[in-house]
Amino acid sequence: MPSLFFETGEEGKTFLLDDNLLGKGLVEAGVTMKIGETANITLDPMFAFGDEGHEAYGVPGGASIRIQATLLEIHRLENVTEDGLVVKKTLSSPEDQFRTPNDGSRVTISLTGRLADGQTVFDQHDALTFTVGEDQVAEGVELAVLKMRKSARALVTISDPKYAYGTRGFSGSKAPEIVVPGGYAGPLTYEVQLLDFENAKESWEMNDGEKVEVAKAKKEKGNRYFKNGNVPRAAKMWDAAAHLVADDKSFTAEQKSESREIRKSCYLNLAAADLRGKMYKGAVENCRQVLELDPENVKGLYRRAQALAGLKEFLEAEKDIKKALELDSKNTDVLALSKQIKMQVAEQNKKERGMYAKMFK
């Protein structure tokens, strides 16, 4: 969503297209204007402040208003994350650049980070170089940089600590005494300019050996994210690793063996992440991928049984439990799940008997 920067009287005023700050009519007029254009705009009450008026501006209810406005700037505002907790406001972006960084890119940025007061600087770098995906900067900054072109400038706002410094906090680089405490809700704002970047190789640019090595690295990155509590980013890494080595027809025998182990490990991890989020259908699918590679994988059978039980598909879950116990009769996790499922089946049968008894009274 763009924000418009109008000059009204002696001062500029920035507002979002849906802010209705100066009446919805000004917004509708503004989107038809070019940068630098000045217009005399007359707004009927329904397009200004209606029957309520605007006390602060001295506009009585039911009044028409006239505005001379100059459109100074348009800034594009976009959600970097689907939940809207990281937002990027583009301050400038070159028209002749189209490429953006990818995962694994080596990027150099200038950065100024401020606390919620908008004044206190806690982090500042003229030229900070890092690798995307290595957890070297706040995740929200990293995700925003992936959407920027070379030389572009943006204001990045992070409204949740999970995209900044989580529970660990941050000791300021600008001044050590300025600290972002763990769990700091912010918002934090960063002015960022993408100075330069070198993209990591795309999959089609890699040879088979490189694919295997990069997939291993992505899997390990995913494991680190998971240990740090960042499950969505961990899942993204595991998924990328598995897909990178999914087509192994040209691999050597050793590379095929490695790629199978990578995929099994990643799909098992993805199933565990799905189970944690109660996304049972996703867990079933990820376990299916594991069992296609290794039909006797006890963890795959166990986690699929967990997911099927979550979907209340108890008969199918019991089949997986039975097979898992045939392979490992002393597995305590599988034995505990078997007992749990039997109790759930008994409870379900009891409810069904009660329901049928009421129906046929």
pLDDT in tens, 157-181: 999 988 988 888 887 666 667 788 8
Amino acid identity of 45? P
Residue 21: what pLDDT?
Answer: 55
Residue 7: what pLDDT?
Answer: 42
Q: What is the pTM of this model?
A: 0.71
Report, in this order, helix, strand and coil percent for the chain, each rounded to 5. 40, 25, 35
**Can you name the CATH fold of 80-198?**
Chitinase A; domain 3 (3.10.50)
Query: Domain map of the chain by residue range?
Result: 2-74, 80-198, 203-358
Residue 174: what pLDDT?
Answer: 64
Strand partners, 157: 87, 189
**Domains 2-74 and 80-198 are alike in CATH topology:** yes
What is the CATH code of the structural domain delimited by 2-74? 3.10.50.40
Compute the mean pLDDT over every residue in the chain, rounded to the nearest whole number. Answer: 86
Residue 22: what pLDDT?
Answer: 58
Consecutive 10-residue averages of pLDDT for the chain (361 residues): 43 49 68 79 81 78 80 78 91 87 94 91 93 89 95 94 85 73 86 96 94 96 88 93 95 96 98 96 98 97 97 94 96 95 84 66 58
Residue 112: what pLDDT?
Answer: 94
Q: What is the pLDDT of residues 245-297, one digit of tens each?
A: 999 999 999 999 999 999 999 999 999 999 999 999 999 999 999 999 999 99
Angstrom distance (rounded) from CA 317 to CA 342: 10
Query: How is domain 203-358 classified at the architecture level of CATH?
Result: Alpha Horseshoe (1.25)
Q: How many CA atoms lie within 13 A of 20 on its CB side?
A: 8
Q: Where do the H-state alpha helices sit in the chain?
A: 24-30, 139-145, 208-227, 231-244, 253-276, 280-293, 298-310, 314-327, 332-359
